[in-house]
Chain A
Amino acid sequence: MFNFKFYIRIKFAEGHNYKHMTTKTKILLAEDDKFISKAYHDGLMRAGFEVAVVADGEQVLPKIKEFLPDIILLDLIMPVKNGFEVLTDISKEPKYAKIPVIVVSNLGQNSDVEKAKTLGAVDYLVKSNYSLKEIIEKIKSHL
């Protein structure tokens, strides 16, 4: 399989002292296509990640606050609020703005890539061009 090691991370739980925890890397997946969402979710779970999924842009920020992900995989074309708006929302929240966001979209125009990176995305992957193994390598490189 992916031979992926769990990361040992120091987390800050709201309202509590610092505590040392051994935990799975938490990924928030924002993806509205149910088939792609299922493929990513199941594959990432099998690879040893903890995964939360939202299917529209408006749910992203509340889920970040609840789930406290280590990294976010963000689609761009989503209902209610698109990925660019979500990136803008995240950048306005100092507490969460440092969470790396990898845009995983099937929009592939240079203007989309530049816009996403300007808004704070650490990486931009055209979904159809990447296997799950390659996406996991990208995730690991940004943790």
Chain B
Amino acid sequence: MDREQICNIDLIEILPIGVLVYDESRTPIVANHVIRGLVQDKAILLPDFIASFTLSSQSTGSLSRAVEGVFTGKSSYYHEIMLGQHFFEAWVQPVNDKAGRPVGGVIILSDIARLKEADRMRAEIVSLVSHQIRTPLTSIRLFAEALLDEQGVGPLNKLQRSYLQDLSDSTIRLISLLNDLLDVSRADKDQTT
């Protein structure tokens, strides 16, 4: 093993993401500390290792097909996968020899628990903020409409009616803007999960 190879293996070892390199016989040849931690330092058999993950509901496809795909010219794969309740992003990339022929692949696993937690918190904040802002807007809208209705609350002069109508229209406009903002936030969330 030359110095370059040793440096590469050392670099792989210290990465904070999981890296597993496998050869043409689908045998793992390098597994860094993150991968070893996931299998609790047991010997890794690639099919068992792949089978221990499930695809999250956000993903389609198959990790095992991705692992095989590197030998048929597929350049890279991305999946969101789960080990138990723990979320990872998985990339599968081919390893090519100097002639560009695929001689193996590398599985890269990135822990996205924090990302998932941030998404969950964002959804909670959106829900909370929408509720908190809509509540006073609702009462402003209802009271303005009650006054405009005049029945039971007394007649309005022309100027009062005009101002109240503006107040009511502006409130409804603000509610509509808030709804649009929430729609954008939800669409954005759907795209990132």
Give chain A's interface residues, CB within 8 Å of chain B.
1, 33, 35-36, 38-40, 42-43, 46, 77, 105-109, 112, 126-129, 131-133
Alpha-carbon distance A42/B153, docked complex (angstroms):
10
A-B contact pairs, 15 of them (CB 8 A): A35-B143, A36-B135, A39-B138, A43-B142, A46-B151, A46-B152, A107-B127, A107-B130, A108-B179, A109-B126, A109-B186, A126-B134, A127-B135, A129-B175, A131-B141
Question: Are the CB atoms of A1 and B151 closer together than 8 Å?
Answer: yes
Alpha-carbon distance A82/B121, docked complex (angstroms):
20
Q: How far is the CB of A112 from chain B (nearest CB, A)?
A: 8
Q: Given the interface contacts A1-B149, A36-B142, A128-B175, does A109 sit within 8 Å of B127 by beta carbon?
A: yes
A106 / chain B contacts, CB cutoff of 8 Å: 130-131, 134-135, 138
Convert B154-193 into 0s and 1s, putting 1 for each residue whose CB lies closer than 8 angstroms to a CB of A. 0000000000000000000001001100100010000000
Partner of A132 from B134, B146, B186 at Cβ < 8 Å: B146
> Interface size class for chain B?
20 to 34
Q: Given the interface contacts A39-B143, A42-B146, A77-B131, does A127 sit within 8 Å of B151 by beta carbon?
A: no
B151 / chain A contacts, CB cutoff of 8 Å: 1, 46
Q: Given the interface contacts A42-B146, A46-B152, A132-B146, does A35 sit within 8 Å of B136 by beta carbon?
A: yes
Partner of B142 from A77, A112, A132 at Cβ < 8 Å: A132
Q: How many A-B Cβ pairs are below 8 Å?
A: 65
- When C-beta atoms are compared, the residue in chain B nearest to A106 turns out to be B134
Question: Are the CB atoms of B149 and A35 closer together than 8 Å?
Answer: no
- Beyond the given pairs A1-B152, A129-B179, 11 more chain A to chain B contacts, judged by CB atoms under 8 angstroms and listed by A's residue number, are A38-B139, A43-B142, A77-B131, A106-B134, A106-B138, A107-B130, A108-B182, A112-B127, A127-B138, A128-B175, A132-B145
Give chain B's interface residues, CB within 8 Å of chain A.
123, 126-127, 130-131, 134-139, 141-143, 145-146, 149, 151-152, 175, 178-179, 182, 186
Question: Are the CB atoms of A36 and B146 closer together than 8 Å?
Answer: no
Alpha-carbon distance A39/B145, docked complex (angstroms):
10
Q: Indicate the member of B126, B137, B146 with the most A CB atoms within 10 Å.
A: B146
B145 / chain A contacts, CB cutoff of 8 Å: 131-133
Alpha-carbon distance A129/B141, docked complex (angstroms):
9
Alpha-carbon distance A107/B131, docked complex (angstroms):
6
Alpha-carbon distance A3/B182, docked complex (angstroms):
36
Name the 6 nearest CB pairs between A and B, nearest first. A35-B139, A39-B142, A106-B134, A128-B134, A1-B151, A46-B152
